Structure 1
């Protein structure tokens, strides 16, 4: 789905960009005094985009307004689908584990996320941990967010996370690798008056 969405994004953005450049460049060229071809929508630099006759030509036809509204509704639905597809975070629902006998087993993605988050939270100085699995089911990747106590060195916390929690998860799931993107943030404590 992600690869298809990437291709759709690139094709749509390329087509929209190409249309805007061609139309904008042609309008600019006509506005600067170039002679347009006979089929072009503008005749001269003083021509308007839609004159009165063009704007009212189909007004009395019974099919015109339903067609216009249907096309606009379809464009709005496609734009909303595109927006939702781009904003939605893709969560890996299952991980394929090689059992060594030619078969495979499926591990729920939420279970692996929960175990990773629990083990990361038990590390010294980690207040909270959130884990999100992405990628493909045969090559998962992780996004880890750690909330660290103020006294913890981020380098040490990262080292403990990679050597303990991520290594345990990779070994227990039988994965060759488990790439991780780790983001760390320090806990902010409110100042308190001491008497």
Structure 2
């Protein structure tokens, strides 16, 4: 879904910039006069001496009470959409992983299912109170981003070793990957002190 939205938005943006640049180039080189064709009446840039936005266009709505609130609201909406788009890129994770079935046909496994399986097995390791897993990368070469919340008594080196040798190795073997690169982050779980009577 995100890839489709990215492609559509980038395609529309590219098409708009191409049309704008082409129109400015036609006007700047005075090609409509040289080649004998006309530009639409609303197009502001008709010749090499014209400007894209003249003094009248810049000052036309300045005296209207609705102008500045409308401009600020439109820019705020545009900024919110751009921030959403930027954050959506960071949250991207694999929706499908291609599994080698060893019979020539590739099977698609839901990425969230594999993430859940890795999380469940990681949480079963001694000293791990919570695990979060996100798969990124390509469908044929995923990368695992693992966050583990460790209990205060847990040994991080031992936990990392077991995570690599057991949990991530099981995940890698189950989907038939040669390798499963991983980035692991640890945090310590903090428990509130309880008063006992």
Among 166, 169, 172, the alignment partner of 2:171 is 169
Runs of at least 5 residues in structure 1 that lack an aligned partner in the other structure: 9-38, 40-50
Once residues 55 and 187 of structure 1 are traced to their aligned partners in structure 2, the CA distance between those partners, rounded to angstroms, is: 58
Among 143, 153, 163, the alignment partner of 1:141 is 143
The residue aligned with 1:158 is 160
> CA separation of 1:139/1:191 partners in 2, compared to 1, >3 Å: closer, same or farther?
same
**With structure 2 as the length reference, what TM-score do the two structures score?**
0.61
Q: How far 1:81 sits from its partner (Å)?
A: 3.2
Once residues 81 and 195 of structure 2 are traced to their aligned partners in structure 1, the CA distance between those partners, rounded to angstroms, is: 52
For 1:44-83, list aligned pairs within 5 A: 56=59, 58-59=60-61, 73=74, 78-83=78-83
Partner-residue secondary structure (3-state), 2:131: strand
**With structure 1 as the length reference, what TM-score do the two structures score?**
0.62
> CA separation of 1:194/1:138 partners in 2, compared to 1, >3 Å: closer, same or farther?
same
Alignment of 1:181 with 2:183, yes or no, is: yes
> CA separation of 1:59/1:93 partners in 2, compared to 1, >3 Å: closer, same or farther?
closer
Which contiguous aligned blocks of 4+ residues in structure 1 show a shift greater than 6 angstroms?
none
Once residues 138 and 54 of structure 1 are traced to their aligned partners in structure 2, the CA distance between those partners, rounded to angstroms, is: 53
Q: How far 1:166 sits from its partner (Å)?
A: 0.2
Once residues 57 and 106 of structure 2 are traced to their aligned partners in structure 1, the CA distance between those partners, rounded to angstroms, is: 65
Q: How many residues align?
A: 145
Runs of at least 5 residues in structure 2 that lack an aligned partner in the other structure: 11-48, 50-54
Once residues 179 and 120 of structure 2 are traced to their aligned partners in structure 1, the CA distance between those partners, rounded to angstroms, is: 20
What CA deviation, in whole Å up to 9, does each residue of 1:11-52 have, x standing for no partner?
xxxxxxxxxxxxxxxxxxxxxxxxxxxx9xxxxxxxxxxx9x
The residue aligned with 1:132 is 134
Partner-residue secondary structure (3-state), 2:166: helix
The residue aligned with 1:84 is 84
